[in-house]
Amino acid sequence: MPGANELGVAGACVVLVACGSSGLDTRPDLSGGDTANAAVAIDGIDPDWSLPDEETVVTLTGHGFSGDVTVDFGRSTVSATRLDDATIVVTAPAAGVETTVDVVVHSDAGEATREDGFTWAEEEPIDTGGADTGDTGDTSGLGKVGGLIQFQLVQIACPDCLGYTSNLQVVATAGYHAPTAKSWTDWLPSKGTCEMNPSPSAAATTFLDAGRSMWLEYGPDDHPTVSVELSETDGIFVADGLVADDFVRTAGYRVEVEGGSDVPEFSVSEAFYTPDSISSLTPTEMLYTTTRTAWAAQIKKSKADFTWSSNGSNDGFAIVIDAYNPSNLNPLGELFCYDGDSGSLRVPSGYLSGWPTGSLLVIGMYRYSVGSFERPDNASTVESVVTFGVLGTGVLAN
């Protein structure tokens, strides 16, 4: 299972992404982004804009600026004057056009990226930091992605088989970042297809200061029935160790953000919706609950069929199969199949044939809802991926 400060996308495993062997891998791991724990980090860029036809002296602050330091403004690389390990001065080149680029610092200690860190424009971009309401009238993020919320409940048939202490895992994570053209769900295969060993990529690795806490709430504004508090670490909000009642099925949740120096306080009603639970799963043997009875489901290489009760109201359904060598438990790979919530899925012939007969399988079945809402401070889109999953076991058969 991933560490606390990770963001990813569910489908195979959870909300934000494909799953790992635990069935709860919220990949990709964003904890290696531009944070205080990184070897190199960018904390500030001043100024962070220039007129298109002018060169501009820029001061960057952070840490890890050791040795020979260079800075990339998009595709242009310039040498930096190092004042100390926390401060460098560079001259940003003239771009000739209005545009925004990533800023990358390279030093002997490594590198750090500030996505969309520098802008060339005819007028100074609006600074949205510090507002109280979050509604600034700024639309600089329109059409781009500026954050992610993932909320996941997974029921584990045999916790002892997979190294869990409980048969239920409920986790929420969130993060807000500079607007980007990338999406957290770009990696998802099209419906009706499978992908072997998917490699989800993060839409952002640098997160903004949106305060120390945020809340996912269900019920009346003044007295919510459910209030899940997420605490911030390195720009990523996390709440784990939640209980089943925190994840209300087929419900609209309100998002409340405390606000910080980069993202002001805001509240959005019915920001995302949770999917329904899953029932009537087959093969039923994958749901056996003890180490003595688990691994009984025979998953055939040429005809791997899965069924479940469909309510027809959700965005999609994912089946994720992680295979392990029965002799030494070394991982053999992962298969991620994505389709509509039709109630049945057959893994296409050929996908499972590369694994040896008798391979131990960890099988995840996930119903999830993918949505989005507008971030009030800059009109960017905050994506949401919410998943209800069941994790079982099986063995690969001819």
Question: Per residue of the chain (398 residues), what is the pLDDT tens digit?
Answer: 333 344 444 333 333 333 333 333 323 232 223 333 457 888 889 999 999 999 999 999 988 899 999 999 998 999 999 998 889 999 999 998 888 998 999 999 888 888 889 999 998 876 544 334 455 567 778 899 999 999 999 999 999 999 999 999 999 999 999 999 999 998 888 889 999 999 887 899 899 999 999 999 999 988 899 999 999 998 999 998 899 999 999 999 999 999 999 999 999 999 999 999 999 999 999 999 999 999 999 999 988 999 999 876 667 999 999 999 999 999 999 999 999 999 999 999 889 999 999 999 999 999 989 999 999 999 999 999 999 999 999 999 99
287 three-state secondary structure: helix
In sequence order, what DSSP letters do the residues of 39-101 get, joined into one string? Answer: SSEEEEEES-EE-TT--EEEEEEEE---SS-EEEETTEEEE-EEEETTEEEEEEPP-SS-EEE
301 three-state secondary structure: coil
Bridge partners of residue 81, in order along the sequence: 89
DSSP annotation of 160 reads H
- Which amino acid is present at 127? D
- Which amino acid is present at 91? T
Q: Are strands 9-10 and 15-16 parallel, antiparallel or unpaired?
A: antiparallel
Cβ proximity of 27 and 8 under 8 Å = yes
Q: Are strands 87-92 and 81-84 parallel, antiparallel or unpaired?
A: antiparallel
Kindly give, in sequence order, each residue whose CB lies less than 8 Å from that of residue 77, ignoring residues fewer than 6 positions away. Answer: 70, 71
Neighbouring CB atoms inside 10 A of 296's CB total: 15
Kindly give, in sequence order, each residue whose CB lies less than 8 Å from that of residue 284, ignoring residues fewer than 6 positions away. Answer: 297
Please, is 163 exposed, middle or buried when counting C-beta atoms within 10 Å of its C-beta (0-12, 13-18, 19+)?
exposed
Token pair in block for residue 26: 């919220």
Per residue in 109-144, is it b (16+ CB within 10 Å) or e — as a string?
A: bebbbbbbbbbbbeeeeeebeebeebebebebbeeb
Neighbouring CB atoms inside 10 A of 63's CB total: 19
Token pair in block for residue 186: 């770009």
Q: What is the dihedral of CA 310, 311, 314, 320, to 10 degrees?
A: -20
Cβ proximity of 285 and 306 under 8 Å = no
pLDDT at 136: 52
Radius of gyration of the chain (CA): 23
Please, is 7 exposed, middle or buried when counting C-beta atoms within 10 Å of its C-beta (0-12, 13-18, 19+)?
buried
Number of helices (H), then strands (E), in the chain: 1, 26
Cα 343 from Cα 340, distance rounded (Å) = 8
Q: What is the CATH number of domain 49-120?
A: 2.60.40
pLDDT at 94: 92
Cα 70 from Cα 193, distance rounded (Å) = 43
pLDDT at 181: 92
Cβ proximity of 117 and 105 under 8 Å = no
pLDDT at 278: 93
pLDDT at 313: 65
